[in-house]
Structures are given as structure tokens and as C-alpha cells.
Structure 1
């Protein structure tokens, strides 16, 4: 997959959004002063790059 956005990305995102899909990059949720995995709810320190419970990683922004 290319790292640079293409002109079709916006059109594809609009298509997915109109059908109920989330097109935003997945990110950590915050709980108190910890990062919380959006998949399993595991809590991690603020410098975590991967969930040690389920292996989830935040998506990079295009």
C-alpha cells in the first residue's frame, strides 16, 4: 500500500463511511494517565507502541 494519499482515497473513504465503516486511523484511548487498547481494553504506559495483551498497534496516519 502506498504511503502517499491518492486522489481516490477521499472517494473510497466516502464510500466506506456511507456504509457505516470507520475510516479514521485507530489510536490509543486514554484512561487516567494510561493508554488503553481499543480492542481488548489493556492498559499501558504512555510510551507503549504495541498492546502487550493482544498485539494491537495504532495505525499510522496517511
Structure 2
């Protein structure tokens, strides 16, 4: 039995059909640091969450 697509999958498909990117967002790199894509805060490479704005990378 096939499972129905999740609401997130349907929303991503809706956006991608209209030219929007729907890929998971991760850390940006700045030299040897991780950089938050939302606020630009710099963190050590072991960071799992932005200590400035609380952003967490998509899994």
C-alpha cells in the first residue's frame, strides 16, 4: 500500500513547480568557521545551533 505524501512534500512540490528552491539549508563556510545563513554569526565547526539567533540547520 502506498503512503500519501506529507504536507511538507506537497508544499515543496508546489513551490518548486513555481520556480522556488526547496533544498535543505545548512551552514555557510567562512574560512575555518561555520556561518549562520540567517544572521551571519560565526561559530566553531562543532556548532549545532546558532547562538546568536537560534537558527538550526535543516536535517
TM-score by length of 1: 0.71
The structure showing larger relative contact order (alpha-carbon pairs under 8 Å, at least 6 residues apart) is 1
**Unpaired stretches in structure 1, ≥5 consecutive residues:** 1-5
Aligned length: 54
TM-score by length of 2: 0.74
- C-alpha separation between the residues in 2 aligned to 1:29 and 1:7? 34
**Unpaired stretches in structure 2, ≥5 consecutive residues:** none
The structure with the larger Rg is: 2
